[in-house]
Each structure stands twice: as structure tokens, then as C-alpha cells.
Structure 1
């Protein structure tokens, strides 16, 4: 049986691990980033850094926020006195490698999951910093504000339309010619940008539903695929390794292995 060819649409600087997992599990990876990430030293980030000693909590939602601090404020994590919450074990492990102690990581790696933990623990009247990208959902800050917390949002990086969309156009061509067996999406923007580059969204959605195994990292990304009418699956735990394990187990089951 041939190796499944798996398309990876996440940003290039975050795709290495995903490609390695695909190869390890017996597949062939095709990288076509539909999203670029750029650390930025905005006024809001400067303000957050300036007022870090007044924070009760700081929330890290992605590895790119850590990249931004390491680039612009390499000493930020030294003597950090507030409590630290993260969404996702990848983000958490990166912080721990830098000597940061984690105080809270939800089992559900989503904004809703973290808000649920704060609600269950009745964490209120706190000053909470959230470095993030401006294009992300407002679920987290709004949820924390409903608990009477003072939320300070800082733009730490930008989520950009891919600078070079040729690889995505080439991927779409390969999908149309049945050269791709599965495709993965790791955030809502990876889906939106993918379809923005497409010239025929309806046709592409049909191909992703009928001819490919389409896998989302979790339900939030899955909801965006629903908007485009794409049938998909996602794992119980919202990580890249779990997403790939689900992809390959589903592939083997459907191909008699």
C-alpha cells in the first residue's frame, strides 16, 4: 500500500514537527503554509512589559508569543512574579524550558477551556495580561472580564496572509489531480486563507470532503471547516501529535490496514 500524502497548512516555522510526525508514521508530507506569523513589538506589548509587576496572571496562548518576548524582551521571564496560565502543552513545555512555573493549563486546549478553569476556580478581580495576535477570537478576554477581571491585551505577533501563496496554489492543483490523500488544519485562519486563495471554493470543499481525509486540530478549527461545508474529523486532545495519530489510524482503517 502506498504512503499517504499529507498536506500541512500551518506556518512554515511551526511545521517541522508536523512533517516529522507524518514521516515517522509512514506518510509523505507536503508543506503549503496558508498563514505567516510575524513577532511585533507593538505599543500594547511595550505597555504590558512595562506593567508586568502589576499583573496577577499572564496567559500564553501560543508558542509565537514566547518567540516575541524572547526576541524583544529576552529578560522578561526573569523574576516573573505573577501566576502563569497556558493553552496547550506545547506552549507550556516551552515556558518550562525557560524556567517558568506553570500554574494553570486546562485539559481542553481552547479559550473556552481556560475560561472554564478560571470560572471553576472562581478567579476574580485579578489583573490578567494576554499577549496574542490581534486577529484571534475575543472568547478569552471577554470570558475573563465576565469574572470581573481587568484584562490587558497586548499584540505580540501578527497572523498574516501567506507572503508566497504559490505553494498553496500548487497544493490545490495537486488536490484536483488526486495527488493528496489527507490535509490538516491547525487554526481557523489556516482554513480561511486556504479558501481565499482558491478560485472555486465549492469545488474545493467537495474534494476535501469526498476525496481527501480532512483533519482539524480541534473543534474551533472544525467549526470553520463546517462554514465551508467540509467534512472533517478532529482528535479528543487538541495537539498536533494527536491530530496526526487520528489521521493515520483513520487512514489505515479505511484502507484495510
Structure 2
């Protein structure tokens, strides 16, 4: 049986979902998003962490980048000490796993629906006093809007930057044709916007990991067949592809 070919445009190869492929799916990796850690972001984190009772991570790469920067700047033990005295929240299950692996603590809060907006609503319900958002500089502001509307203080600490890899992006049209790609997996609104602006083909199926990416796709390139998994995770997206008719 011929494998389903999936083009994944995220910034790193999703090694942790290999066991889900079951010889039915082959992932072709072509990153169009560069992740640039911000030097001494751990120091910025330390300077602000005492002001808040909750720490929020909105992506799986955030906890790792914080931990790596803290080790480079010799403040990792202090970061762990501070985190152990705070409440932690994760936007989704994969972010929760990253917190536990890289920072040694299970999150205290995980929203039912894995979105920043839903996480903001949950933080409002439990009367958070101040929320430290440890995230990308280009991260979605949906959680900010919820907290601001309800009068909850928040502080943003930027751990990394995201930028489009235009060299890879410009090669995608030819790549799609030559490799007979059947599905494209998109994991962020930033990637979706770049994809819609540059892609000419219209006979592929797009898998959007989350609703914010889905909304961008429906708005900017409605010509595509766009699917979204029930749970907004990479693993759920792969399950959707596995079960989708050929």
C-alpha cells in the first residue's frame, strides 16, 4: 500500500510522533520557520517571575529554550527554584510534556481545548493575580486579550523569535510537484500566512493543527481543502491523516 506523503513545514522534525505513522505516512520535512533563541531571556524571566503567581508556556519549544538559556547563563538552578514556588500552565499536552521534561515540574493547569484563548478563560476563572507569559515574540495575542479584558495583569517574557525561511519557502511549489505531496501540515498562523502568499497549487489537502491557523487558511487561501483535528496537537493531526481516506 502506497504511503501518504505529508509535507511538514514546522521548524523542527517531529521525531516524537514516529511511532504513530504505522508505515502509512511518510513525513517530508521542509522547515520554513526559523527559531531564534533570545540570549539572556532567562535573566529577563528571573527579573519578572516574582511579580506573578502564574507562569504560562504557549509552545513546546518555550520550556526547552528557557532551560538551555538558563544553563548557558548559569542560572538554571535558580530558575527551577523559582518555578517550584509558582503555578504553571501549559496551552496543550505537548507543551505540558516539554515543561515536565525540561523544567522538572508538571503543569498545574491545562485547558480542555488547547488554545491560548481557552487558557486565558481558565486563568480568569481561578482569579489569577498576575500571569507571566513565557513565549515567542511573535506569539498570538489571544490570551493577552482575554486577560486584559478581565483586568488581570500579565507580563510577557520573550524567549525566542520566529522568522520565515524565504529560501525554503520559494522552493515549495517545485517541491510539491516533484514529490507528489498529498497533504501539507501547518502548525502556526505565521507559517499559514507565508504558505498562502506563495503557494500556487490547489490540489492538496491542508491539515491545520489549531483553530488560529485554520482561520488564517480559510481567510487567505480558501481554495484548499482544510482539515483540523479534534485535539490541537501534532499527534492528533497525524492520526487524522492516518485515518483520512486515500
TM-score surpassing 0.5? yes
SS at match of 1:242: helix
CA contact (8 A) 1:83 1:102 kept: yes
Q: 1:28, CA displacement in angstroms?
A: 1.8
CA contact (8 A) 1:213 1:247 kept: no
Indicate the residue corresponding to 1:33 in structure 2: 31
CA contact (8 A) 1:35 1:190 kept: yes
The normalised TM-score by structure 1 is 0.83
Q: 1:142, CA displacement in angstroms?
A: 2.1
Aligned residues: 236
Q: 1:47, CA displacement in angstroms?
A: 3.5
Indicate the residue corresponding to 1:127 in structure 2: 130
Indicate the residue corresponding to 1:248 in structure 2: 242
SS at match of 1:154: strand
User: 5+ unaligned residues in a row in structure 2: which ranges?
Assistant: 71-75
Indicate the residue corresponding to 2:73 in structure 1: none
Aligned CA distance change for structure 1 residues 226 and 42 (closer, same or farther; 3 Å): farther
Indicate the residue corresponding to 1:184 in structure 2: 185
The normalised TM-score by structure 2 is 0.86
Q: Is 2:184 the partner of 1:159? A: no
Q: Distance in 1 between matches of 2:178 and 2:48?
A: 54
Q: Distance in 2 between matches of 1:130 and 1:172?
A: 36
Indicate the residue corresponding to 1:60 in structure 2: 57
Indicate the residue corresponding to 1:110 in structure 2: 115
SS at match of 1:153: strand
Q: Distance in 2 between matches of 1:70 and 1:48?
A: 11
Q: Is 2:216 the partner of 1:224? A: yes
Of the structure 1 ranges 212-221 and 73-82, higher mean CA displacement relative to structure 2 is found in 73-82
Q: Distance in 2 between matches of 1:51 and 1:181?
A: 46
SS at match of 2:80: coil
Q: 1:23, CA displacement in angstroms?
A: 4.4
Runs of 4+ in 1 over 4 A off after TM superposition: none
- For residue 99 of structure 1, the aligned residue among 101, 104, 111 is 104
Q: Deviations over 1:130-170 (max 9, x none)?
A: 0111212211122112222211111110011116x23x444
Q: Distance in 2 between matches of 1:51 and 1:4?
A: 47
Indicate the residue corresponding to 1:47 in structure 2: 44
Aligned CA distance change for structure 1 residues 131 and 248 (closer, same or farther; 3 Å): same
- For residue 72 of structure 1, the aligned residue among 47, 54, 69 is 69
Q: 1:178, CA displacement in angstroms?
A: 6.7
Q: Deviations over 1:93-150 (max 9, x none)?
A: 122233213211101111111022123x2414x1211011121221112211222221
SS at match of 1:232: strand
